[in-house]
Chain A
């Protein structure tokens, strides 16, 4: 059950990353550079979290 919840969390984080990257690029287009930088950082962290949740057993310290 907990494993299923983490699966859902990884999908949600993937979608958050997608939206954050899209928002970051959009913000660059409307000259909101600080907001764009913030959203791109959010996207990178969310995507890293989504993939770290899938790290195989050998890769976990």
Chain B
């Protein structure tokens, strides 16, 4: 970070500042300045100052820059929302504004992330330890991509289904459950799909089956209860 050329630094600052300013205007400044709460306005201004300070310290002190630009910015934004109180309902007056705000925060998160620069070869880094290239110990099964793609599509479907829930309390629950389920599903599907056809690192079939016996028994019991429930209805 400290050796970044000037144009690259400008680009980094723009990547961090623009989405942050967009998120701040759409979700922090709007409710804070639409209500008469002085405390909320103070926190909103402090939040914007933290974002600017984060971009300012980006080159000279990256850790301080991140502390201001991420933690302090989000912290003051949260404090703004708490002090606005019921005025926060202004954000939900139309479905467009929350969606725009969510997009702003998504871009903000991407803006603070790092990607390998185009044309940059990691092995050419002076700190890289030279050696022969590492050869993969096994090849992935052709089914790996298919299983992972199905899980990914299904997970997107689950997230979309959560938006169909209209009752407010259940809608919140649906979004929370959908997010947790998708994280768990993607993690499990990565393990399941990459282990297809794997022989060396997995124990014998009997031991694998025994390891899952408790969860499988619970699943069979749940299916049995469900069948009885359907019969009795």
Contact = CB atoms under 8 A, between A and B. Distances in A.
Interface residues of chain A: helix, strand, loop or mixed (majority)? helix
Contacts, number: 135
Contacts of A38: 222, 226, 229
Given A18-B151, A29-B165, A50 B223 contact: no
B173 A52 contact: no
Contact of B188 (A42, A51, A59, A60): A51
A46 B164 contact: no
Nearest to A41: B222
| Interface size bracket, A side | 35 or more
B208 interface: yes
| Interface size bracket, B side | 35 or more
A60 B207 contact: yes
Contacts of A46: 219
B55 interface: no
Interface string B168-198: 0010011001100100110011011101110
Interface in A28-61: 28-29, 31, 33, 38, 40-43, 45-57, 59-60
Nearest to A45: B219
A58 to B, nearest CB: 9
Given A7-B195, A50-B188, A56 B158 contact: no
A10 B189 CA distance: 10
Interface in A5-20: 5-7, 10-11, 13-15, 17-19
